[in-house]
Structure 1
Amino acid sequence: MASRRDFLKLSSLASMIGLAAPAMALGRKVNKPIVVSTWEHGMPANEAAWQVLNAGGRALDAVEAGVRVPEADPKVRTVGYGGYPDRDGKVTLDACIMDEHMNCGSVAFLQGIKHPISVARLVMEKTPHVMLVGEGARQFALSQGFVEEELLTAEARADWQRWLKEQTVQTINIENHDTIGMLALDANGNLSGACTTSGAAYKMHGRVGDSPLIGAGLYVDNDVGAATATGMGELMIKTVGCHLVVELMRQGASPEEACQQAVQRIARKLGDYAQFQVGFLALNKAGEYGAYCIQSGFNYAVRQQSGATLIDGKSLLGSNA
């Protein structure tokens, strides 16, 4: 007869198997490789990532290559070069990256360096730290061979000067994208993610949002899935939103369900949620993806073997909820 100790051991093992089931995608064919990213500027970013994935490359290399595209594109006004400045006219950049082994790197309030995502990766790989900020991050980038550049374009400067006269509040949504977050699952079944931004337009000098914060703007658990965020960064920080989405997937929710539950939780806490935008994008270990947000207007890009698509995310206040 089995002892009580044996029973407890079996119960514990069953619980462990139950928790691991979502990661193993039992009974499902894994959709890999695949890359997803926030907003329509994720389309060209995904293509760069896809070149890495389709050649059998690592998800980490793919997400870095992918988000470097909008970082260098002056037409993308809220990421990297050409991004909107803060209220003092300074372009300050935030980014983070995370691989399948829970290694991660981050930079915040970085100025004068076009590719903060690559600096973040070097923080991960060449320092004992997770995050470097401000002048320390800039000095580290220069020590690694990065070149200091002027990131405020003539167009962004003109927009900032108009804002100084009007002092209008900028809504973070389709008309003012605040970031690009990218998640990838490679042919080996490993996940990685990256997030990079110039932050909210005309923010206070020194403000840092969720994008460089592991767990808030990005989180990867290679046993379960990954998530990234868009919208008002302060709300993602307060709720550790992307970690929440991944934990909900661990409990059995699909990527879309996990994003929806996280958004609904934030909305309940806010009460006056209709004046804010918060959105999440998630990818699980099986290569399934989904998104959900408060306001309509959030879209996300997908690249897989069947092709490239741009999808309107479901929303709490939209007709597609």
Structure 2
Amino acid sequence: MRARIRLRPRVRSLRPVHPAAWLTPALAAATTLAVVLVAVPRDGGGPPGGTHDNSPGSAAAAAAPAPAGKAEPDARDVVLAVHGGAGTALKRDETSPEKEKAYRDGLRRALRAGQRVLDAGGSSTKAVEKAVRVLEDDPLFNAGKGAVFTADAGHELDASIMRGSDMKAGAVAGVKHVRNPITAARLVMDETKHVLLAGQGADDFAAQQGLKPVTQDYFYTQRRWDELMKAKGKQPVKDATKGTVGAVALDRKKDLAAATSTGGLTNKMAGRIGDSPVIGAGTYAKNSTVAASATGQGEVFIRGAATATISDLMEFKGKDVASAAYQVLIERLPKLGGDGGVIALDRAGTFDAPHSSEGMLTGYLTRDGQLVTRIFQDESPPGR
């Protein structure tokens, strides 16, 4: 019988103690993250359908966004799409060129990581894992590095992944020492008979599988700390994109896959788990219907079984992907008291990203190499 390994890494640092370290010992080593961005011209101002990559081989828009209030797909012949969270919209007149570039570059890097997998003939499952890993490593998003703080000033991360060909899935919830939770979720799917591992058991499993643990201060960013302080002071948190990340993909074999990763909600109760690691709520993939990754108010997405319901409407009601996603995100979930968005992709490459929230960060890649990123409200209007 194998002994269970318990990893309780100690935070060792020569850096000064954080001024609010009384909230948690793990933040005693936290330091302010300084992000230096080079000012560049705006990305062409952003056409209505989003901003297109101007690198060699790229072209113009695959499709402009559908008018508000209509269930029409955003694009066709899509092989990969990502999201960086739904919530308060980024506004052009309040967003610096540096900030715009940072968000667009983050989405582009994720799309390029997944594209490399697909171009090499790799699986959609590997493509979504690679894309989400890039977003987990980007401190702009609420997943991995840059994850939000819990009420006790810690970090608890969730992630899930699902393969459409056989509907196998893996997830982790409440992990505290896994740098890339999406890879831990993939290992749960591939190396165990289970679907979801949580807490210390999930951290132990990840370490046993060769994922090097990180201490809590790895996830720290000054921006997220400031958001926690505002939340505890009952101040509104501006730029409140939920920041949850996700990806959906379609490979050469016509297999679908979806993945989602998050740090949760700012000031959430310790132990709270949202929709991101819940199969059928935050993530779902089935070859005959859809690959979907959601972002928003997790409790509502769990109660509404958001992504599984999109699939069910397609399978049992004969709805197309855009109509099914619209019905769930725009018509059903708001009645339960929450908002958010979803990226949904069917086996024909039809893509839609409806959201009831004010804004949503998305990007997609078509089969012929067109890459589109959308971060502003006029690029991806709510209610459609």
| Fold shared, TM-score > 0.5 on shorter chain | yes
Aligned match of 1:258 in 313, 324, 327?
A: 324
Task: Check 1:38–1:59 CA distance in 2 against 1; reply closer, same or farther (3 A cut).
Answer: same
State the 1:295 CA deviation. 2.5
User: Match of 1:247?
Assistant: 312
State the 1:101 CA deviation. 1.2
State the 1:225 CA deviation. 1.6
Could you state the TM-score of these two structures normalised by the residue count of structure 2? 0.68
CA distance in 1, matches of 2:328, 2:227: 34
SS at match of 1:293: coil
State the 1:161 CA deviation. 5.8
Greater than 6 Å deviation, 4+ residue runs: none
CA distance in 1, matches of 2:353, 2:78: 19
Larger RCO: 1 or 2 (CA < 8 Å, sep 6+): 2
Aligned match of 1:102 in 163, 167, 177?
A: 167
Residue pairs, 1:158-177, within 5 angstroms: 158-159=225-226, 162-163=229-230, 166-168=233-235, 170=237, 175-177=240-242
Asked whether the equivalents of residues 171 and 185 of structure 2 are also in contact (C-alpha less than 8 Å), the reply is: yes
Identity of aligned residues (%): 34
Task: Check 1:47–1:177 CA distance in 2 against 1; reply closer, same or farther (3 A cut).
Answer: farther
Q: Which amino acid aligns with 2:133?
A: R
State the 1:228 CA deviation. 1.5
Structure with bigger helix share is 1
Asked whether the equivalents of residues 150 and 270 of structure 2 are also in contact (C-alpha less than 8 Å), the reply is: yes
Q: Which amino acid aligns with 1:243?
A: A
State the 1:105 CA deviation. 0.4
Judge which range, 67-76 or 137-146, deviates more.
67-76
User: Match of 1:11?
Assistant: none
Asked whether the equivalents of residues 227 and 280 of structure 1 are also in contact (C-alpha less than 8 Å), the reply is: yes
1:315 lines up with 2:382 in the alignment: yes
CA distance in 2, matches of 1:72, 1:110: 16
CA distance in 2, matches of 1:126, 1:262: 33
CA distance in 2, matches of 1:183, 1:164: 32
State the 1:257 CA deviation. 1.6
Q: Which amino acid aligns with 1:66?
A: A
1:290 lines up with 2:357 in the alignment: no
Mark the runs of 5 or more structure 1 residues left unpaired by the alignment: 1-30
1:265-286 deviation per Cα after TM superposition (whole angstroms, max 9, x unaligned):
425633xx5xx42222210110
1:273-302 deviation per Cα after TM superposition (whole angstroms, max 9, x unaligned):
5xx422222101100001211123123210
Task: Check 1:268–1:181 CA distance in 2 against 1; reply closer, same or farther (3 A cut).
Answer: closer
Q: Which amino acid aligns with 1:162?
A: M
Task: Check 1:165–1:188 CA distance in 2 against 1; reply closer, same or farther (3 A cut).
Answer: closer
Judge which range, 102-111 or 159-168, deviates more.
159-168
User: Match of 2:87?
Assistant: none
State the 1:253 CA deviation. 2.5
Could you state the TM-score of these two structures normalised by the residue count of structure 1? 0.81
Residue pairs, 1:224-239, within 5 angstroms: 224-239=289-304
SS at match of 1:281: strand
